[in-house]
Chains A and B, each alone.
Chain A
Amino acid sequence: MTDPRTAATAPLLELTDLAVQLPTGRRSSVDAVRRVNLRVERGERVGIVGESGSGKSVTGRAIAGLLPENPRVQVQGSIRFNGREMNGADQRAWQEIRTRRVGMIFQDPLTYLNPVMKIGRQVEEAIPAGGASESRRRESLRFLQLAGLTDVEQLAHRFPHELSGGMRQRVLVAIAIAKTPDLIIADEPTTALDATVQALVLATLDETVRTLGTSLILISHDLAVVAGMTDRLYVMYAGRIVESGPTAEVMAEPRHPYTQALLRSVRSLVDDDVELYSIPPAFRDWLRTEGAGLEFTTTTQDGAR
């Protein structure tokens, strides 16, 4: 079923047959991403779920153009923003994207903030150029507030190590939204945080995205995190998408054995009645051989994939 796409109806982001190879040794490489087809519409929230090594983070970085600057890193396939092809585009085009269109929230707020630069300045940097310094300063404070921080005047003069983990993560959120992007990619935004703080930060993220109307790609290994916040879901394993569809439906009726296994292991953790379950090696062998390439897509009501 094809429907003609015009610029007006083109999705905000569309990945077609994306593949990424990363160097792992002097002469060896690994297929971090094998073949990913993914899209995000305006205002949509999409989740990418998978274990470590599944390629979900690499996918996120490929979208933002933040793969390592190593000539041995290879990207094939199509990355389209608003219909515009980005793979193979020059530095300037990518810089435009990173400056204004795509904001990224990273995993570990301690290491992802510059330890010797004040918070206020780090947020200000993210605001696209232009405007007097005074107004930029005010803007940066506003974004810090939007990200759920209080007492921002004080905070702006502090250094990262003076803040708590939750506060630092919110600074990362502020940095991402400071450019008023069309798309925010959050890569494991709560993994480094305590359980109690996780919920708070997620709530902040939820609120912020809702207020600004940006699209969101939420990447996590934690199904619970993704389930609560996304409209659609992609499940990745070993560099491939094994299942996709509306979040509620995928969670209720997973079709791919891997999704089923994932759900089962999460439930086994949460539910006292269910026996503790971890994915057996035999299953992984199967995934690697016969089960490779198996992909289940649940389409939505209007027939879109």
Chain B
Amino acid sequence: MSTSGPDRDPILDTARAALEAPPTGLAVTRPGGAKRESLWRHFFERPSTWIYLGILAVIAFVSFVGPFFAGDPVALGNPKLLEPSLEYPLGTDQLGRDYLPRILQGGQVSLLVGFTVAILCMTLGIIIGGLAGFFGGFADTALVKVAEFFQVLPGLVLALVTAALFGANVVIIIIILSVTMWPAVARIVRAEAMRIGQLGYVESARASGFTSLRILWSDVLPNAMPPVIVATTMTVGRAILIESSLSYIGIGDSNRPSWGALLNDAQGYLANGWWLALFPGLCIFVVVLAINMLGDSLNDALNPSIGKVK
């Protein structure tokens, strides 16, 4: 029997001494801090993020500030059905209104509805989903049932019925859409709350004497945020699509037509007014696309799952 390998006795002695050292005690580490920051940083480093945010910022800015500069959306004096030109960058419509300010104004309603609904959904979703997922029991079952309810009675249909009975205005639409879309967000919060609630450090926090509510607020929810943020982003896009569908059908504020309503008017002039149908739809498309791409980007950055190596 022979040994090979360097013969380094002094070092072996050090090793043997280290072997004798007692194991250190348990330390409670709370994940979330450093890791979370690096995920966000990752997100903001990507150039695509800024492109999408830029597009959205421009559109929002133009929608809300633009009308002050662009002209009167309801003034009738212009020639009718003019193709886009230097004087009328987006042409004129069948009643002789300059199309550009109408398009700009149309954005206001859509964007307003989209973001308001998303914020409401996020708030409701976090509160109810967090409670349901973390505490379980009645809140949990109730949430599941409510989500089922809105899957069976789609938001669009419910909005139609409500509009028929109560009349159509922006507030009602925001309310209906929020009511039908929050369960989806809440379910994600619930799933995350349940998952995080199982993790070790939650148990140790509990053992340290923190109340459940406090744990939920300061530990569970912050770590549940990434998928929630993605879901909320997507909600903006979906809300805008549903809102424009509703206004296309005719359910919306007739004084301030949103893009969908403009498309409705445009359908009678497909042969001789292609720009009337092109621009409103294009705006909806670009906005929703930017939002969805942003959401995807967020998803990639905040929920990293590289080619899984086992």
Chain A residues engaging chain B, CB cutoff 8 angstroms: 22-26, 68, 70, 72-73, 249, 255, 257, 260-261, 264, 278-283, 285-286, 290-291, 294-299, 305
The reply to whether A68 and B21 form a contact with Cβ atoms under 8 Å apart is no
The reply to whether A257 and B24 form a contact with Cβ atoms under 8 Å apart is no
The reply to whether B2 and A286 form a contact with Cβ atoms under 8 Å apart is no
Query: Smallest Cβ distance from A35 to chain B, in angstroms?
Result: 13
The reply to whether B308 and A68 form a contact with Cβ atoms under 8 Å apart is yes
Task: Report how many A-B pairs have Cβ atoms within 8 Å.
Answer: 68
B11 in contact (CB, < 8 A): yes
Q: Which residue of B lies closest to A281 (CB)?
A: B24
The reply to whether A283 and B15 form a contact with Cβ atoms under 8 Å apart is yes
Q: For the complex, what is the distance from the CA of A298 to the CA of B5, rounded to whole Å?
A: 10
The reply to whether A257 and B19 form a contact with Cβ atoms under 8 Å apart is yes
Chain A residue contacts of B35, Cβ below 8 A: none
The reply to whether A294 and B5 form a contact with Cβ atoms under 8 Å apart is yes
Selected from A25, A261, A285, A296, the residue in CB contact (under 8 A) with B19 is: A261
Per the 8 Å Cβ criterion, residues 1-40 of B in contact with A are 1-6, 8, 11-12, 14-16, 18-19, 21-24
Query: Smallest Cβ distance from B309 to chain A, in angstroms?
Result: 5
Would you list 5 pairs from A and B whose C-beta atoms are within 8 A, ordered by A residue?
A23-B309, A25-B306, A261-B19, A280-B24, A291-B15
Query: Smallest Cβ distance from B24 to chain A, in angstroms?
Result: 6
Selected from A22, A280, A290, A298, the residue in CB contact (under 8 A) with B14 is: A290
Chain A residue contacts of B137, Cβ below 8 A: none
The reply to whether B304 and A25 form a contact with Cβ atoms under 8 Å apart is yes
B209 in contact (CB, < 8 A): no
Q: For the complex, what is the distance from the CA of A72 to the CA of B16, rounded to whole Å?
A: 39
The reply to whether B15 and A23 form a contact with Cβ atoms under 8 Å apart is no
The reply to whether B309 and A22 form a contact with Cβ atoms under 8 Å apart is yes
A257-B19, A295-B5 given. 9 additional CB < 8 A pairs? A23-B306, A68-B307, A70-B307, A255-B3, A283-B19, A285-B18, A290-B11, A290-B14, A297-B5
Query: Smallest Cβ distance from B36 to chain A, in angstroms?
Result: 16
Q: Which residue of A lies closest to B2 (CB)?
A: A299
Selected from B18, B304, B308, the residue in CB contact (under 8 A) with A280 is: B18
Chain B residues engaging chain A, CB cutoff 8 angstroms: 1-6, 8, 11-12, 14-16, 18-19, 21-24, 304, 306-310
Q: Which residue of B lies closest to A67 (CB)?
A: B309
Chain A residue contacts of B21, Cβ below 8 A: 280, 282-283
Q: For the complex, what is the distance from the CA of A70 to the CA of B306, rounded to whole Å?
A: 10
Q: A23-B309, A68-B310 are in contact. Are A297 and B1 (CB under 8 A)?
A: no
Chain B residue contacts of A290, Cβ below 8 A: 11, 14-15
Q: For the complex, what is the distance from the CA of A25 to the CA of B8, rounded to whole Å?
A: 37
The reply to whether B15 and A297 form a contact with Cβ atoms under 8 Å apart is no
Chain B residue contacts of A295, Cβ below 8 A: 4-5
The reply to whether B306 and A296 form a contact with Cβ atoms under 8 Å apart is no
The reply to whether A298 and B1 form a contact with Cβ atoms under 8 Å apart is yes
The reply to whether B23 and A280 form a contact with Cβ atoms under 8 Å apart is yes
Chain A residue contacts of B304, Cβ below 8 A: 25-26
The reply to whether A68 and B309 form a contact with Cβ atoms under 8 Å apart is yes
Chain B residue contacts of A23, Cβ below 8 A: 306-307, 309
Q: For the complex, what is the distance from the CA of A234 to the CA of B307, rounded to whole Å?
A: 30
The reply to whether B18 and A286 form a contact with Cβ atoms under 8 Å apart is yes
Q: Which residue of A lies closest to B16 (CB)?
A: A257
The reply to whether B5 and A70 form a contact with Cβ atoms under 8 Å apart is no
Q: Which of B11, B14, B309 has the most CB of A within 10 A?
A: B309
Q: For the complex, what is the distance from the CA of A14 to the CA of B238, rounded to whole Å?
A: 59
Chain A residue contacts of B12, Cβ below 8 A: 257
Query: Smallest Cβ distance from B43 to chain A, in angstroms?
Result: 12
Q: Which residue of A lies closest to B307 (CB)?
A: A70
Chain A residue contacts of B309, Cβ below 8 A: 22-24, 68, 70, 73
Query: Smallest Cβ distance from A39 to chain B, in angstroms?
Result: 15
Chain A residue contacts of B8, Cβ below 8 A: 294
Chain A residue contacts of B306, Cβ below 8 A: 23-26
The reply to whether A286 and B15 form a contact with Cβ atoms under 8 Å apart is yes
Q: A23-B307, A280-B23 are in contact. Are A286 and B3 (CB under 8 A)?
A: no
The reply to whether B1 and A296 form a contact with Cβ atoms under 8 Å apart is no
Q: A294-B6, A297-B4 are in contact. Are A278 and B23 (CB under 8 A)?
A: yes
Chain A residue contacts of B307, Cβ below 8 A: 23, 68, 70, 72
Q: For the complex, what is the distance from the CA of A295 to the CA of B11, rounded to whole Å?
A: 13
Q: For the complex, what is the distance from the CA of A297 to the CA of B5, rounded to whole Å?
A: 8
Q: For the complex, what is the distance from the CA of A73 to the CA of B21, rounded to whole Å?
A: 38
Q: For the complex, what is the distance from the CA of A72 to the CA of B308, rounded to whole Å?
A: 12
Q: For the complex, what is the distance from the CA of A291 to the CA of B8, rounded to whole Å?
A: 10
Chain B residue contacts of A68, Cβ below 8 A: 307-310
Chain A residue contacts of B22, Cβ below 8 A: 280
Q: For the complex, what is the distance from the CA of A25 to the CA of B307, rounded to whole Å?
A: 9
Q: For the complex, what is the distance from the CA of A165 to the CA of B90, rounded to whole Å?
A: 69
Give 3 closest A-B pairs by Cβ, nearest first. A257-B15, A283-B18, A280-B21
Q: For the complex, what is the distance from the CA of A295 to the CA of B8, rounded to whole Å?
A: 11
Query: Smallest Cβ distance from A44 to chain B, in angstroms?
Result: 19
Q: Which of B4, B19, B304, B307 has the most CB of A within 10 A?
A: B19
Q: For the complex, what is the distance from the CA of A279 to the CA of B22, rounded to whole Å?
A: 9
Selected from B3, B11, B308, B310, the residue in CB contact (under 8 A) with A297 is: B3
Query: Smallest Cβ distance from B110 to chain A, in angstroms?
Result: 36
Chain B residue contacts of A278, Cβ below 8 A: 23
Q: Which residue of A lies closest to B8 (CB)?
A: A294
